[in-house]
């Protein structure tokens, strides 16, 4: 299935950390790729995190004077996530204590997920449009919420794509936000598409695609992972909110200085000049805290198109998703991974100055020749400076990404230029 078709199927599901809706999303994902499924029993505890029960809503109505006021089953967000069952008559005052709404988007239904993470606060409740809440009249209301909270297992999907090295890059997205498309089914379908493309080529690093409920899925995955496996994790990318019509946003890793931060900065600067970037947790919060947690400290960046107006509401549906934005996101991930995959030091096989313009080398870029009738650009000047300094970078230590950064040039263009030196047998690329 292509990304948009898969997204349309997945985002309608009534997802939760553990729910039949999430099982359906997982079935669709497994239909695309041979994921391994790790299962963790509900109510398991680790570091204070408790796997929620297998939950779903069956019935959710509010009547007044025999008339249906609200049916919470009209949308997966209509019942507050992890709501208890309740049946009885309540006053308007009491009812209002059990209603959640979004004043900023009065016709949307908001996403309420607090109780999954704070089960001690569980109660019953509806999420409804503020426009409806605002017009509720005083009187007696008949409430019927029937939800199922059962034992079961939480699932973490895990696909390993082996590379030349056992060092592994994690691509992670979450599958627990009921009825929502951009957050984060867009990340799920982008991760699946990236995996399909990685599987078609030879890779230096190994990759692991992890699709799981936010925080719970990755916390229990790491906690139950063989110590040796965890040591192989080199970098991570959290993929989220990648289908809406917005510029790309790079959130850096905890240190902000790792090779994956630098690769992402270079790729986006030269391919998406309108992108924005910020420090760790300054754009959006997800499972990067899990991968970066002490004892693991896996540098994990996050790629998204945050912020967006429809976030955490029923407006986050397929109507705000654009196929070309999903595709552009896939290309950006592949571009960043390509830098990591090819970045290496270069060793020279010559001594002294090479006449780059000699046809037998043909490595001269006549960029700032005044006899050329064209405007000299900043890029021309950058290339000219690079050409003058390049031979000294072939020292067996300086890497392609270092050179691209020093000269504020696109990594791929620099890499292709260095490859021309290799074709002329002037250098060797040190890939280890």
| Shortest reach from residue 188's CB to Zn ion, in Å | 13
Structure tokens at 209: 């695609």
Closer to Zn ion at the Cβ: 213 or 236?
A: 213
Residue 182 or 412 having the CB closest to Zn ion: 182
By C-alpha distance, which of 36, 6, 10, 7 is closest to 23? Answer: 10
Nearer to Zn ion, 77 or 326 (CB): 77
CB nearer to Zn ion: pick between 174 and 407: 174
- Point out which residues bind Zn ion (CB under 5 A): 183
Ramachandran area for residue 278 (φ above 0: left; ψ -120 to 50: alpha; else beta): beta
Instruction: Tell me if residue 385 falls in helix, strand or coil.
Output: helix
Q: Are 72 and 79 in contact (CB under 8 A)?
A: yes
| Nearest distance from C-beta of residue 184 to Zn ion, angstroms | 7
Q: Which two tokens stand for residue 125?
A: 């409740």
Q: Which long-range contacts (CB under 8 A, 24 or more apart) does 149-152 make?
A: 149/53, 149/54, 149/55, 149/82, 149/84, 150/42, 150/53, 150/54, 150/55, 151/41, 151/42, 151/43, 151/53, 151/54, 152/18, 152/41, 152/42, 152/53, 152/54
**Look-up of token digits 């569980």:** 122
Q: Output helix, strand, coil percentages for the chain, rounded to the nearest 5.
A: 35, 25, 40
Rounded to whole angstroms, the maximal C-alpha distance in the chain is: 94
In 3D, which of 302, 311, 242, 314 has the Cα closest to residue 4?
A: 242
Closest distance to Zn ion from the beta carbon of 14 (Å):
16
Q: For the chain, first and last CA: distance in Å?
A: 37
Of residues 183 and 261, the one with the C-beta less far from Zn ion: 183
Q: Which CB sits closer to Zn ion, 158 or 183? A: 183
Smallest distance, Å, CB 231 to Zn ion? Answer: 30
We find the least distance from the C-beta atom of residue 333 to Zn ion, in angstroms, to be 19
User: Which residue's CB is nearer to Zn ion, number 173 or number 404?
Assistant: 173
Q: Looking at beta carbons only, is 183 or 410 nearer to Zn ion?
A: 183
Q: How far is the CB of 312 from Zn ion (least distance, A)?
A: 6
Rounded CA-CA distance 309/23 in Å is: 28
CB of 16 to Zn ion, least distance (A): 13
DSSP state of 344: -
- At closest approach, how far in Å is the CB of 191 from Zn ion? 16
Nearest residue to Zn ion, scored by beta-carbon proximity: 183
């Amino acid at each position: 299935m292509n990304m948009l078709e898969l997204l349309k199927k997945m985002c309608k599901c009534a997802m939760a950390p553990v729910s039949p809706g999430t099982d359906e999303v997982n079935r669709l994902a497994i239909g695309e790729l041979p994921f391994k499924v790790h299962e963790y029993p509900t109510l398991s505890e680790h570091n204070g995190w408790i796997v929620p029960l297998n939950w779903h809503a069956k019935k959710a109505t509010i009547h007044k004077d025999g008339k249906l006021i609200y049916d919470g089953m009209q949308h997966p967000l209509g019942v507050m996530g992890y709501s208890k069952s309740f049946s009885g008559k309540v006053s308007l005052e009491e009812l209002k204590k059990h209603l959640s709404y979004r004043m900023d988007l009065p016709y949307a239904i908001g996403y309420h997920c607090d109780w999954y993470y704070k089960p001690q606060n569980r109660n019953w409740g509806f999420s409804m449009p503020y426009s409806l809440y605002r017009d509720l009249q005083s009187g007696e209301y008949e409430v019927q919420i029937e939800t199922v909270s059962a034992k079961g297992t939480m699932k973490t999907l895990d696909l390993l794509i082996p590379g030349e090295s056992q060092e592994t890059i994690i691509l992670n997205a979450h599958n627990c936000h009921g009825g929502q498309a951009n957050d984060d089914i867009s990340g799920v379908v982008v991760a699946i598409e990236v995996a399909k493309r990685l599987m078609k080529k030879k890779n230096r690093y190994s990759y692991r695609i992890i699709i799981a409920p936010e925080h719970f899925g990755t916390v229990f995955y790491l906690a139950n992972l063989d110590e040796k496996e965890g040591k192989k994790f080199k970098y991570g990318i959290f993929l989220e909110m990648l289908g809406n019509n917005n510029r790309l946003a790079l959130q850096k890793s905890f240190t902000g200085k790792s090779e994956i931060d630098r690769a992402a900065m270079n790729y986006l600067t030269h391919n998406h000049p309108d992108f924005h970037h910020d420090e760790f947790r300054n754009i959006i919060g997800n499972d990067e805290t899990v991968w970066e947690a002490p004892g693991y400290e896996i540098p994990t960046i996050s790629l998204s198109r945050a912020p967006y107006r429809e976030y955490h509401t029923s407006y986050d549906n397929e109507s705000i998703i654009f196929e070309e934005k999903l595709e552009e996101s896939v290309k950006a991930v592949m571009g960043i991974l390509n830098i990591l995959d090819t970045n290496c030091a270069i060793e020279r096989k010559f001594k002294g100055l090479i006449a780059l313009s000699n046809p037998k080398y043909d490595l001269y870029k006549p960029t700032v020749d005044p006899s050329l009738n064209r405007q000299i650009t900043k890029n021309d000047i950058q290339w000219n400076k690079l050409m003058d300094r390049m031979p000294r970078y072939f020292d067996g230590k300086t890497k392609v990404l270092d050179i691209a950064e020093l000269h504020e040039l696109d990594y791929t263009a620099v890499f292709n230029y260095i490859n021309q030196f290799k074709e002329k047998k002037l250098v060797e690329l040190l890939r280890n």
